[in-house]
Chains A and B, each alone.
Chain A
Amino acid sequence: MTQLDRLSVYHWLNAWCIKPVGGALVRQEPEYILLALMGSPLKKIMLCSSEKEIFSVEEQVMVQHSVIINNMIEDGSYNHEESKIPLDCVDSKTLKKVIDYCTHHTHHHNDNQEDLEAWDAQFLNVDSNGLYDLLMAANYLEIRNLLDLIYGTIKNMIKGKKIDEIRRIFNIKDHGFTPEEEEQNRKEYPHFY
């Protein structure tokens, strides 16, 4: 077995938390095991961004996180030699970040909760435009963990803030209310403004 193969196998075992301990499997998570049986550790897949840039990613990494990609692979019609998956609504910058997220979480699955949370916080340290793109990409690819993470971040961006500040944070230049409606809102909830 080459060095590369051994490393892949290590990642494979590590990522799917299959540790034989006295014959028993430790830390089984059914979704991961199911996805694991679908994917293969050494295979790579090609993802194509809206800017026609190709990204090569371990199949098992994307299959574990993205329901859409998992379904595509599961279907069996993805040809590893020729096919690439076109993701026309995800630009290169965002796609790279999404791949980053999935790869990290696959390879660092066994890290303790605090380290993972710290990494996630760092990962989402982006401006609201970047966050918007990530949200759209995660939604499109159906990456549940990333979506949950982003929802939590958005929740914190709203929590306890004044309305004008929320509009500023989310780049909402035109709130869409008529002057009368806006005045009514301010009257009804003065403490939010």
Chain B
Amino acid sequence: MSGKRRRKLKSLVDTINDNKRLAIEVKNENLELQTWSDLPAELLELILSRLALDDNVRASVVCKRWHPVAIAVRIVNQSPWLMYFPKFGDLYEFYDPVQRKTYSVELTELSGSRVCYTKDGWLLLYRPRTHQVFFFNPFTREVIKLPRFEMTYQIVAFSCAPTSPGCVLFTVKHVSPTIVAISTCYPGATEWKTVNYQNRLPFVSSIWNKLVFCNGLFYCLSLTGWLGVFDPSERSWSVLSVPPPKCPENFFAKNWWKGKFMTEHNGDIIVIYTCSSENPILFKLDQSIMEWEEMRTLDGVTLFASFLSSHSRIDLPGMMRNSVYFSKVRFYGKRCISFSVDDYRYYPRKQCHDWGEQDPFENIWIEPPKDFSGFT
């Protein structure tokens, strides 16, 4: 969508003359029968850019004049939606930041459970009372059960959709500063497999750790900023000798370990450090020199940050690029709070964005399937 255009103040005379010119242009077009196919390109752009992908494709074949405009504004990628978990009842809400719309749907399959992780449109959920663990796809309502496991105070992640081959679940718990217990599972297994591993560098697991699956490996960021890596195929674990990302002193305010987010993009691990009184800082792990480097630009990428799971996306509408979308929606459910890396500011302007204080189970960014037309 085009950015805000400001009209310069013109004198009344100039305005009338300009309008006369425009009027004459329009009048000439009036000689033929006015048709929708002759809409001015800038209007067409504004209209077609609001269409969902499948409707955009429809518009592109309606008439020849619409075709190039539809292609030009077509969003190749579907943006993640923010899924809200209700404290009571079964009504779940999904917020689409592109259309700025919220959908509600009743999901009785999720009662008594809390969310653990999401990837490829699938949720991993856990029932603390019964230790039940299961996959759920809110778009297809499919449920895939897993063996029970006690993981009330652990974070867990999985590698890909459970319907894809090679889906692995991973969770880590420290036994001592140099020993961790890693538990893995997969769809169809009868039980979780737990093995102890040693790490040379100290590693502490907690519910504030962040997990991401990237390039076949599970990365786990501890609350002090050290990165543990587990290879599920080799079954090997080590803590990388990469010192934690360097933040300015004032970042280490109260609860400094809480407001962190981790995701991956194109094989790179990206970490977002936040602090309530400052702008967020983005770091990328440079694996060649084993160092975290600060990211000044996102190169057209959009990040979606929520406590348990974060995502990256390319090819979203222009306005959304080079931004971090946080898991909070303001203005009566219309605007999502985002941080623009280019403009180096929050939208809307920050009152106080303390991402460390958010309820981890309140909401999560989830990827709807491509061409998803809505809940029936």
Contact = CB atoms under 8 A, between A and B. Distances in A.
Interface string B14-42: 01100110110011000000111101000
B19 A155 contact: no
Contacts of A75: 9-12, 15
Interface stretch (A20-28, A55-63, A81-89, A116-124): A81-89
B12 A132 contact: no
Interface in B158-193: none
Contacts of B62: 158, 163, 166-167, 170, 172, 175
B13 interface: yes
A155 B50 CA distance: 7
A78 B35 CA distance: 35
A139 B43 contact: yes
Contacts of B15: 68, 71-72, 75
Given A71-B7, A89-B22, A185 B61 contact: yes
B46 interface: yes
A88 B20 contact: yes
Contact of A74 (B9, B16, B57): B9
A2 interface: no
A181 B65 CA distance: 13
A47 to B, nearest CB: 12
Interface in A56-103: 67-68, 71-72, 74-75, 77-78, 83, 85-89
Q: Contact residue range for chain A? A: 35 or more
A77 B19 contact: no
A166 B54 CA distance: 14
B26 A89 contact: yes
Interface string A147-170: 100011011001111010011001
A6 interface: no
A75 B18 CA distance: 15
Nearest to A129: B34
A172 B37 contact: yes
Contacts of A170: 35-37, 62
A173 B63 CA distance: 10
A90 to B, nearest CB: 9
A192 interface: yes
Contacts of B50: 151-152, 155
B11 A177 contact: no
Contact of B37 (A86, A155, A176): A176
A136 B26 contact: yes
B64 A189 contact: no
A10 interface: no
A9 to B, nearest CB: 28
Given A89-B23, A155-B51, A192 B57 contact: yes
A89 B34 CA distance: 13
A192 B61 contact: yes
B176 to A, nearest CB: 57
B111 interface: no
B299 interface: no
A74 B8 CA distance: 11
B55 A159 contact: yes
B64 A177 contact: yes
B47 interface: yes
A161 B51 CA distance: 13
Contacts of A74: 9
Given A160-B55, A160-B373, A78 B12 contact: yes
Contacts of A128: 36
A172 B61 contact: no
A67 B7 contact: yes
Interface centre among B43, B59, B62 (most CB of A within 10 A): B62
Nearest to B24: A88
A192 B13 contact: no
B61 A163 contact: yes
Nearest to B22: A89
B58 interface: yes
Interface string B40-76: 0001001100111001011101111100000000000
A189 B55 CA distance: 12
Contacts of B373: 160
Contacts of A171: 35-36
Nearest to B61: A185
Interface of B: 7, 9-13, 15-16, 19-20, 22-23, 26-27, 34-37, 39, 43, 46-47, 50-52, 55, 57-59, 61-65, 373
Given A74-B9, A172-B63, 20 more contacts: A68-B7, A71-B9, A71-B15, A72-B15, A75-B10, A86-B16, A88-B20, A129-B34, A135-B43, A136-B26, A151-B47, A166-B58, A166-B62, A167-B63, A170-B36, A172-B36, A172-B62, A173-B35, A189-B57, A189-B58
23 contacts: A50-B23, A71-B15, A72-B12, A74-B9, A75-B11, A77-B12, A85-B16, A88-B23, A88-B27, A129-B34, A135-B43, A151-B50, A163-B62, A166-B58, A166-B59, A166-B62, A167-B62, A172-B62, A172-B63, A175-B62, A175-B64, A189-B57, A189-B61
